[in-house]
Protein backbone atom coordinates (compact mmCIF):
# COMPACT_ATOMS: atom_id res chain seq x y z
CA UNK A 1 0.00 0.00 0.00
CA UNK A 2 1.84 3.13 -1.12
CA UNK A 3 -0.20 6.04 0.07
CA UNK A 4 2.50 8.54 0.98
CA UNK A 5 2.56 11.65 -1.20
CA UNK A 6 -0.60 10.86 -3.15
CA UNK A 7 -3.20 13.57 -3.59
CA UNK A 8 -6.63 12.47 -2.26
CA UNK A 9 -9.82 12.63 -4.22
CA UNK A 10 -12.84 14.64 -3.13
CA UNK A 11 -14.62 13.65 0.09
CA UNK A 12 -11.38 12.55 1.70
CA UNK A 13 -10.85 9.63 -0.69
CA UNK A 14 -7.52 9.31 -2.41
CA UNK A 15 -6.68 7.06 -5.30
CA UNK A 16 -3.25 5.89 -6.40
CA UNK A 17 -2.73 6.84 -10.09
CA UNK A 18 -1.99 4.08 -12.57
CA UNK A 19 1.45 3.64 -13.97
CA UNK A 20 2.32 3.90 -17.64
CA UNK A 21 1.42 0.90 -19.85
CA UNK A 22 5.03 0.89 -21.05
CA UNK A 23 6.18 -0.64 -17.81
CA UNK A 24 6.65 -4.35 -17.53
CA UNK A 25 3.92 -6.78 -16.60
CA UNK A 26 5.27 -7.43 -13.11
CA UNK A 27 5.10 -3.76 -12.34
CA UNK A 28 1.54 -3.58 -13.67
CA UNK A 29 0.53 -6.46 -11.42
CA UNK A 30 1.83 -4.48 -8.48
CA UNK A 31 -0.07 -1.42 -9.67
CA UNK A 32 -3.28 -3.39 -9.75
CA UNK A 33 -2.94 -3.91 -6.01
CA UNK A 34 -2.19 -0.24 -5.49
CA UNK A 35 -5.05 0.96 -7.69
CA UNK A 36 -7.54 1.23 -4.88
CA UNK A 37 -9.21 4.05 -3.01
CA UNK A 38 -8.30 5.11 0.53
CA UNK A 39 -10.83 6.96 2.64
CA UNK A 40 -9.82 9.25 5.51
CA UNK A 41 -11.23 7.95 8.77
CA UNK A 42 -9.73 10.48 11.17
CA UNK A 43 -6.84 12.87 11.84
CA UNK A 44 -4.81 11.75 14.84
CA UNK A 45 -1.93 14.24 14.97
CA UNK A 46 -0.35 17.22 13.26
CA UNK A 47 3.01 18.94 12.83
CA UNK A 48 4.46 21.98 11.11
CA UNK A 49 7.13 21.55 8.45
CA UNK A 50 8.66 24.69 6.91
CA UNK A 51 5.67 26.73 7.98
CA UNK A 52 3.09 24.34 6.55
CA UNK A 53 0.80 22.08 8.53
CA UNK A 54 0.81 18.35 7.95
CA UNK A 55 -1.72 15.92 9.41
CA UNK A 56 -1.26 12.32 10.41
CA UNK A 57 -4.06 10.46 8.63
CA UNK A 58 -5.77 7.32 9.90
CA UNK A 59 -7.14 5.53 6.85
CA UNK A 60 -10.46 3.76 7.07
CA UNK A 61 -10.01 0.03 7.37
CA UNK A 62 -6.31 0.32 8.26
CA UNK A 63 -4.44 0.40 11.56
CA UNK A 64 -2.11 2.99 13.06
CA UNK A 65 0.91 1.33 11.45
CA UNK A 66 -0.44 2.48 8.10
CA UNK A 67 -0.89 6.14 9.11
CA UNK A 68 0.73 8.67 6.78
CA UNK A 69 1.57 12.38 6.98
CA UNK A 70 -0.31 14.47 4.44
CA UNK A 71 -0.10 18.20 3.72
CA UNK A 72 -3.21 20.17 4.60
CA UNK A 73 -3.67 21.51 1.07
CA UNK A 74 -3.79 17.96 -0.34
CA UNK A 75 -6.77 16.90 1.77
CA UNK A 76 -10.36 17.17 0.56
CA UNK A 77 -12.15 16.44 3.80
CA UNK A 78 -12.81 19.89 5.34
CA UNK A 79 -15.28 18.54 7.90
CA UNK A 80 -12.68 16.14 9.38
CA UNK A 81 -10.02 18.87 9.39
CA UNK A 82 -12.39 21.33 11.10
CA UNK A 83 -13.33 18.74 13.72
CA UNK A 84 -9.68 18.05 14.48
CA UNK A 85 -8.82 21.76 14.80
CA UNK A 86 -11.70 22.28 17.22
CA UNK A 87 -10.50 19.34 19.30
CA UNK A 88 -6.96 20.75 19.46
CA UNK A 89 -8.19 24.20 20.51
CA UNK A 90 -10.27 22.66 23.29
CA UNK A 91 -7.32 20.62 24.59
CA UNK A 92 -4.99 23.64 24.51
CA UNK A 93 -7.50 25.66 26.52
CA UNK A 94 -7.74 22.95 29.17
CA UNK A 95 -3.94 22.93 29.60
CA UNK A 96 -3.72 26.63 30.52
CA UNK A 97 -2.59 27.12 34.17
CA UNK A 98 -4.65 28.78 36.87
CA UNK A 99 -7.31 27.77 39.34
CA UNK A 100 -10.85 27.91 38.08
CA UNK A 101 -13.09 29.98 40.30
CA UNK A 102 -16.73 29.55 41.23
CA UNK A 103 -19.55 30.08 38.81
CA UNK A 104 -20.96 33.43 39.80
CA UNK A 105 -24.64 34.15 40.23
CA UNK A 106 -26.73 37.27 39.86
CA UNK A 107 -26.55 39.07 43.20
CA UNK A 108 -28.30 41.87 45.12
CA UNK A 109 -24.94 43.13 46.45
CA UNK A 110 -22.86 44.27 43.50
CA UNK A 111 -19.12 43.92 43.45
CA UNK A 112 -16.62 43.50 40.66
CA UNK A 113 -13.49 41.61 41.80
CA UNK A 114 -10.22 43.18 40.70
CA UNK A 115 -8.57 41.59 37.71
CA UNK A 116 -5.45 40.04 39.22
CA UNK A 117 -7.36 38.12 41.91
CA UNK A 118 -10.58 37.43 40.04
CA UNK A 119 -11.64 33.81 39.72
CA UNK A 120 -13.14 33.66 36.24
CA UNK A 121 -16.15 31.69 35.14
CA UNK A 122 -15.37 30.59 31.60
CA UNK A 123 -19.01 30.42 30.62
CA UNK A 124 -20.03 33.91 31.77
CA UNK A 125 -17.16 36.05 33.09
CA UNK A 126 -19.32 39.20 33.29
CA UNK A 127 -21.57 37.90 36.04
CA UNK A 128 -21.07 39.20 39.56
CA UNK A 129 -20.56 37.26 42.77
CA UNK A 130 -22.53 37.48 45.96
CA UNK A 131 -20.70 38.51 49.11
CA UNK A 132 -21.35 36.25 52.07
CA UNK A 133 -19.32 38.19 54.63
CA UNK A 134 -16.21 40.32 55.07
CA UNK A 135 -13.43 38.52 56.92
CA UNK A 136 -10.71 41.12 57.42
CA UNK A 137 -9.38 44.55 56.48
CA UNK A 138 -5.93 45.79 55.53
CA UNK A 139 -4.40 49.17 54.69
CA UNK A 140 -2.20 49.89 51.67
CA UNK A 141 0.78 52.25 51.61
CA UNK A 142 -1.40 54.96 50.08
CA UNK A 143 -3.78 54.55 53.07
CA UNK A 144 -6.49 52.98 50.93
CA UNK A 145 -8.34 49.99 52.36
CA UNK A 146 -8.95 46.48 51.08
CA UNK A 147 -11.37 43.90 52.41
CA UNK A 148 -11.02 40.13 52.48
CA UNK A 149 -14.23 38.76 50.96
CA UNK A 150 -15.87 35.40 51.61
CA UNK A 151 -18.03 34.55 48.59
CA UNK A 152 -21.43 33.01 49.12
CA UNK A 153 -21.42 29.28 48.46
CA UNK A 154 -17.60 29.01 48.35
CA UNK A 155 -15.01 28.12 50.96
CA UNK A 156 -11.98 29.97 52.36
CA UNK A 157 -9.74 28.89 49.48
CA UNK A 158 -11.70 31.27 47.23
CA UNK A 159 -11.45 34.31 49.54
CA UNK A 160 -9.97 37.37 47.82
CA UNK A 161 -8.84 40.89 48.73
CA UNK A 162 -10.91 43.57 47.04
CA UNK A 163 -10.39 47.40 47.00
CA UNK A 164 -12.91 49.37 49.02
CA UNK A 165 -14.18 51.18 45.91
CA UNK A 166 -15.42 47.87 44.50
CA UNK A 167 -17.16 46.77 47.69
CA UNK A 168 -20.75 47.92 47.56
CA UNK A 169 -22.15 46.33 50.71
CA UNK A 170 -22.10 49.06 53.41
CA UNK A 171 -23.87 46.93 56.03
CA UNK A 172 -21.20 44.25 55.94
CA UNK A 173 -18.42 46.85 55.94
CA UNK A 174 -19.90 48.59 58.99
CA UNK A 175 -20.27 45.28 60.79
CA UNK A 176 -16.57 44.50 60.30
CA UNK A 177 -15.43 48.01 61.31
CA UNK A 178 -17.52 47.88 64.48
CA UNK A 179 -15.97 44.53 65.33
CA UNK A 180 -12.47 45.96 64.84
CA UNK A 181 -13.23 49.03 66.99
CA UNK A 182 -14.64 46.89 69.79
CA UNK A 183 -11.54 44.72 69.76
CA UNK A 184 -9.28 47.78 70.09
CA UNK A 185 -11.28 49.28 72.97
CA UNK A 186 -11.21 46.19 75.15
CA UNK A 187 -8.41 45.84 77.71
CA UNK A 188 -6.67 42.48 77.96
CA UNK A 189 -8.37 40.20 80.45
CA UNK A 190 -6.53 39.49 83.67
CA UNK A 191 -5.70 35.84 83.54
CA UNK A 192 -5.03 35.44 87.28
CA UNK A 193 -5.20 37.41 90.47
CA UNK A 194 -2.19 39.40 91.60
CA UNK A 195 -0.26 37.18 94.00
CA UNK A 196 -0.18 38.30 97.60
CA UNK A 197 3.08 39.51 99.00
CA UNK A 198 4.83 37.12 101.34
CA UNK A 199 6.36 38.22 104.62
CA UNK A 200 9.94 37.38 105.39
CA UNK A 201 10.91 35.80 108.70
CA UNK A 202 14.44 35.68 110.02
CA UNK A 203 16.18 35.62 113.38
CA UNK A 204 19.64 36.19 114.73
CA UNK A 205 19.27 33.32 117.16
CA UNK A 206 21.33 30.38 116.06
CA UNK A 207 19.66 27.14 117.13
CA UNK A 208 20.99 23.69 116.93
CA UNK A 209 20.34 21.94 113.65
CA UNK A 210 19.29 25.16 111.88
CA UNK A 211 21.09 25.99 108.65
CA UNK A 212 22.65 29.43 108.53
CA UNK A 213 24.52 31.50 105.99
CA UNK A 214 27.96 32.90 106.67
CA UNK A 215 27.40 35.65 104.14
CA UNK A 216 24.59 37.02 106.31
CA UNK A 217 26.28 36.93 109.72
CA UNK A 218 25.13 33.43 110.53
CA UNK A 219 21.45 34.40 110.21
CA UNK A 220 18.97 31.73 109.31
CA UNK A 221 18.31 31.32 105.66
CA UNK A 222 15.21 33.19 104.61
CA UNK A 223 12.09 31.21 104.01
CA UNK A 224 8.99 32.67 102.38
CA UNK A 225 5.49 31.75 103.42
CA UNK A 226 2.12 32.77 102.19
CA UNK A 227 0.65 35.30 104.58
CA UNK A 228 -2.62 33.42 104.77
- Which of 7-11, 30-34, 143-147, 200-204: highest mean pLDDT? 143-147
pLDDT at 39: 87
28-47 pLDDT, tens digit each: 555 555 556 688 999 999 98
- The β-bridge partners of 149 are 134, 160
Residue 220 has pLDDT above 80, yes or no: no
* 113, 119, 125, 129: CA torsion to nearest 10: -50
* Domain assignment of residue 51, yes or no: yes
pLDDT at 166: 83
* Domain assignment of residue 160, yes or no: yes
* Domain assignment of residue 87, yes or no: yes
pLDDT at 215: 61
143-178 pLDDT, tens digit each: 889 999 998 888 888 888 999 888 888 889 999 888
Q: How confident is the model at residue 20 (pLDDT cuts 50, 70, 90)?
A: very low
What does DSSP assign to residue 187?
A: P
pLDDT at 92: 77
Identify the CA nearest to 154 among candidates 198, 109, 104, 116: 104
Report the domain count for the chain.
2
Q: Is the model more confident about 178 or about 6?
A: 178
Q: In what order do the strands lie in the sheet with 131-139?
A: 131-139, 145-151, 160-163
* Domain assignment of residue 156, yes or no: yes
Provide the whole-model pTM.
0.31
- The β-bridge partners of 39 are 13
* Domain assignment of residue 50, yes or no: yes
* Domain assignment of residue 225, yes or no: no
* Domain assignment of residue 172, yes or no: yes
Q: Which domain holds residue 167?
A: 131-185
Give Dmax (Cα) for the chain: 143
Q: Is the model more confident about 221 or about 108?
A: 221
pLDDT at 36: 63
Q: Is the model more confident about 224 or about 81?
A: 81
Cβ atoms within 10 Å of 57's Cβ, excluding its own: 27
Residue 84 belongs to domain with CATH number: 2.40.50.40
53-70 pLDDT, tens digit each: 899 999 989 988 999 999
Identify the CA nearest to 155 among candidates 185, 133, 122, 123: 133
Residue 52 has pLDDT above 80, yes or no: yes
Q: Can you tell me the distance from the alpha carbon of 60 to that of 72, in angstroms, rounded to the nearest whole number? A: 18
Amino acid sequence: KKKRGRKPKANGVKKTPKRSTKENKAQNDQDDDEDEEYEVEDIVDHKTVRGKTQYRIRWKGWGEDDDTWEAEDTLSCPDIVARYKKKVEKEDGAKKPGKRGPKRKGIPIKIQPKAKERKVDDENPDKEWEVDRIIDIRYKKNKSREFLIRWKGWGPSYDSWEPEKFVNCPDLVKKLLDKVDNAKSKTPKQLRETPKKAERYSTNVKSRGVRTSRRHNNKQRKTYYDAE
